[in-house]
A = this chain, B = another copy of it.
Amino acid sequence: MNHGHAIYKLAKALWPINRSITGDGVRETLSIIKTELLDLTLHEVPTGTQVFDWSVPKEWRVREAYIQAPGGQRICDFKKNNLHLVGYSIPVKKRLSLQELKGHLYTLPNQPDAIPYITSYYKERWGFCLSHNELQLLADGEYEVFIDSDLFDGSLTYGELIIPGSSDLEVFISTYVCHPSMANNELSGPCVTTFIAKELLKKSRNFTYRIVFIPETIGSITYLSRHVDHLKKKVIAGFNVSCIGDERAYSYLPSRNGNTLSDAVAKHVLKNLCQQYVSYRWSDRGSDERQYCSPGIDLPIASIMRTKYGKYDEYHTSLDDLVNVVTPDGLEGGFNALWKAIEALENNCYPRVDVLCEPQLSKRGLYPTLSTKSSGAEVRLMMDLITWSDGKRSLIDIADLCNAPVWELYPILEKLCEHKLMTKLDINLAPVSSRSNLLVETLS
Within 8 A of B (CB), among A371-403: 371-373, 376, 380, 383-384, 387-392, 401-403
Within 8 A of B (CB), among A424-444: 435, 438-440, 442-443
Q: Tell me the bound Cα distance from A6 to B121 in angstroms.
A: 55
| Contact A387-B122, Cβ < 8 Å, known A116-B373, A352-B439, A358-B290 | no
| Contact A355-B125, Cβ < 8 Å, known A120-B370, A295-B391 | no
Pick out which of these stretches binds chain B: A169-177, A268-276, A359-367, A405-413: A359-367
CB of A141 within 8 Å of the partner chain: no
Chain B residues near A48 (CB, 8 Å)? none
- Structural contact, B122 and A357, CB atoms closer than 8 A: no
Q: Tell me the bound Cα distance from A371 to B106 in angstroms.
A: 12
1/0 per residue, CB under 8 A from B, across A222-233: the answer is 001100100000
Within 8 A of B (CB), among A8-35: none
| Contact A358-B119, Cβ < 8 Å, known A373-B108, A435-B392, A439-B391 | no
Chain B residues near A442 (CB, 8 Å)? 354
Chain B residues near A256 (CB, 8 Å)? 387
CB of A291 within 8 Å of the partner chain: yes
Query: Nearest chain B CB to A87's CB is how many angstroms away?
Result: 8
Q: Which of B119, B125, B291, B390 contacts A295 (CB 8 A)?
A: B390
CB of A369 within 8 Å of the partner chain: yes
- Structural contact, A283 and B370, CB atoms closer than 8 A: no
Report the interface size class on chain A.
Answer: 35 or more
- Structural contact, B356 and A224, CB atoms closer than 8 A: yes
Chain B residues near A435 (CB, 8 Å)? 390-392
| Contact A53-B369, Cβ < 8 Å, known A295-B387, A387-B294 | no
1/0 per residue, CB under 8 A from B, across A247-283: the answer is 0000000001000000000000000000000000011
| Contact A370-B228, Cβ < 8 Å, known A295-B389, A387-B282 | no
Chain B residues near A357 (CB, 8 Å)? 52-54, 220-221, 224-225, 291, 294, 297
Chain B residues near A106 (CB, 8 Å)? 372
Chain B residues near A362 (CB, 8 Å)? 122-123
CB of A316 within 8 Å of the partner chain: yes
Chain B residues near A282 (CB, 8 Å)? 387
CB of A91 within 8 Å of the partner chain: no
- Structural contact, A120 and B221, CB atoms closer than 8 A: no
Q: Tell me the bound Cα distance from A296 to B422 in angstroms.
A: 13
CB of A353 within 8 Å of the partner chain: yes
CB of A92 within 8 Å of the partner chain: no
Chain B residues near A363 (CB, 8 Å)? 122
Chain B residues near A383 (CB, 8 Å)? 290
- Structural contact, B355 and A52, CB atoms closer than 8 A: yes
21 contacts between A and B (CB under 8 A): A53-B357, A53-B358, A53-B359, A54-B357, A54-B360, A106-B372, A116-B372, A120-B370, A123-B362, A282-B387, A283-B384, A283-B401, A294-B353, A294-B356, A294-B357, A295-B387, A298-B390, A352-B439, A354-B442, A354-B443, A355-B443
Additional A-B contacts beyond A52-B355, A296-B356, A296-B390 (15; CB < 8 A): A52-B357, A53-B355, A108-B373, A118-B372, A119-B371, A122-B362, A123-B362, A123-B370, A125-B369, A224-B356, A283-B384, A283-B403, A291-B358, A355-B443, A390-B435
